Chain A
Amino acid sequence: MLDVGLSHYLLLAAFVFTTGAVGFVWRRNAIIALVSIELMLNASNIALVAFNRYNPVDHAGQAFALFVVAIAAAEAAVGLAIIVAVYRLRRSVRTDDVDALKG
């Protein structure tokens, strides 16, 4: 337990990613679904930075983690804007209530 290596970080990333995936398919609240997406992106960042730490020939992992942070910020901005627009239209943020494209 006292010798922390790469596998520990990967395990944590797997935990967080699975929690986010479970939350995304489980929760019907659009805001919490977005939070779950953020969790998954964070988990991928942990894995990227950990891989980079244990193979430090360049900064590839950290650079990609930085890109993922920026993409997550953009995704949160657009996603929350969509939630606000849907709330104006339907007075609800439940993903069940937005099924116009369900066919």
Chain B
Amino acid sequence: MSVATRFACTGGLFGASRLTAPRTPADPRGKAARVLLLVASAVVVLAPAAAAQPGVAAGSDPAVVSAPASGGEPAFARPALVTRHREESAGGRQSSRTHAVLFWFGFAGAVVGAGVAVASRTPMRSVLGLLGVVLSTAGLYLLLRAELLAAIQVIVYAGAVVVLFAFVIMFLQQGALPPPGERWLPVRFLAAVALAWLFYLAAPELAEMGRGTRTPLPAGFGTTAGLGDALFTTYLVPFEALSMLLLAAIVGAVAVTRGDGAAGRRGRRAGS
């Protein structure tokens, strides 16, 4: 397990411990949860789990794998695929290094935005976190050569959905919204364990990083013409069905919020 992987696991477990931390520090159950998380993080970070992973150990010396890596270099032997990939991508439109830097910016933006969206106390900040995730995802779509989808992401998600969320929050008078629950929920701890388990599962993935292949793209991939061609030939029926779904959603939203439903009738009956 490389140093970077251990850092990633530690960061993930720290985030999980923040999620489980109760508001009152004197809560003994919260203390127990913290101790358990500490033990779990120690197990994940210190255990030579990577040595037991056949995917990491394949083709490399086991002694090298089990020893902690020094100087930040991954301990596994780099396969020939990586060097071949580097040579291939050097002549491409976008260098591998630029792609990686942009990807990690998008990665950080999406992860931080998701954390803010889930963990913030006020709904407005949560929606701003969602906005960060949406914009980071749009950038990643550009990296993945999905140009039309990136534009749609910005227009539909950032322009319509996030604004609708913000509009509803302001409509509901944010001061009237109570703070999140203070109770210590067992489900919180379960969620943190699940998160830690995900990081544990992701550790060999992290160690495998750098084995990506660069696939040559056909002309017109991801452009408006290319995606539109697929949408109006292969996916014509789902596309049209989607318009019916959107129509139903519009009608349903109007019907629910019109105030002429059960709430309105009850209000009138009580008033008359």
Task: Assess A84 versus B171: contact at CB under 8 Å? Given A25-B187, A26-B19, A31-B126.
Answer: yes
Please indicate the chain B residues that have their CB under 8 angstroms from the CB of A91 in the complex. 176
Please indicate the chain B residues that have their CB under 8 angstroms from the CB of A31 in the complex. 123, 126-127, 165, 168-169, 177
CB atoms of B215 and A54 under 8 A apart? yes
Please indicate the chain B residues that have their CB under 8 angstroms from the CB of A77 in the complex. 164, 249-250, 253
CB atoms of A80 and B198 under 8 A apart? no
Tell me the complex Cα distance, A71–B253, Å: 14
Q: How many A-B residue pairs have CB under 8 A?
A: 256
Closest B-chain residue to A15, C-beta based?
B111
Closest B-chain residue to A50, C-beta based?
B144
CB atoms of B118 and A29 under 8 A apart? no
Please indicate the chain A residues that have their CB under 8 angstroms from the CB of B114 in the complex. 15-16, 19-20, 39
CB atoms of B126 and A32 under 8 A apart? yes
**Chain A's nearest CB lies how many Å from the CB of B263?**
5
Of B19, B99, B110, B130, which contacts A35 at CB under 8 A? B130
Size class of the B contact interface (CB-based, 8 Å):
35 or more
CB atoms of A4 and B100 under 8 A apart? yes
B135-171, CB < 8 A from A:
137, 140-141, 144-146, 148-149, 152-153, 156-157, 160-161, 164-165, 168-169, 171
Q: Judge if B175 is at the interface, Cβ distance under 8 Å.
A: no
CB atoms of A82 and B256 under 8 A apart? yes
Can you list, as one digit per residue, whether each of A13-33 has a CB less than 8 Å from chain B (1) or not (0)?
011101111110111110110
Of A19, A49, A58, A76, which contacts B165 at CB under 8 A? A76
Binds A, one of B28-36, B38-46, B60-68, B203-211: B203-211
Can you list, as one digit per residue, whether each of A59-77 has a CB less than 8 Å from chain B (1) or not (0)?
1101101110111111111
CB atoms of A78 and B252 under 8 A apart? yes
CB atoms of B195 and A18 under 8 A apart? yes
CB atoms of A14 and B202 under 8 A apart? yes
CB atoms of B107 and A8 under 8 A apart? yes
**Chain A's nearest CB lies how many Å from the CB of B271?**
14
Interface of A toward B, CB cutoff 8 Å: 1-12, 14-16, 18-23, 25-29, 31-32, 34-36, 38-39, 42, 45-46, 49-50, 52-56, 58-60, 62-63, 65-67, 69-78, 80-85, 87-89, 91-94, 96
- 3 tightest CB-CB pairs across the interface, nearest first? A5-B212, A23-B118, A74-B249
A-B contacts besides A63-B235, A84-B168, 4 pairs, CB < 8 Å = A3-B85, A3-B209, A63-B227, A89-B262
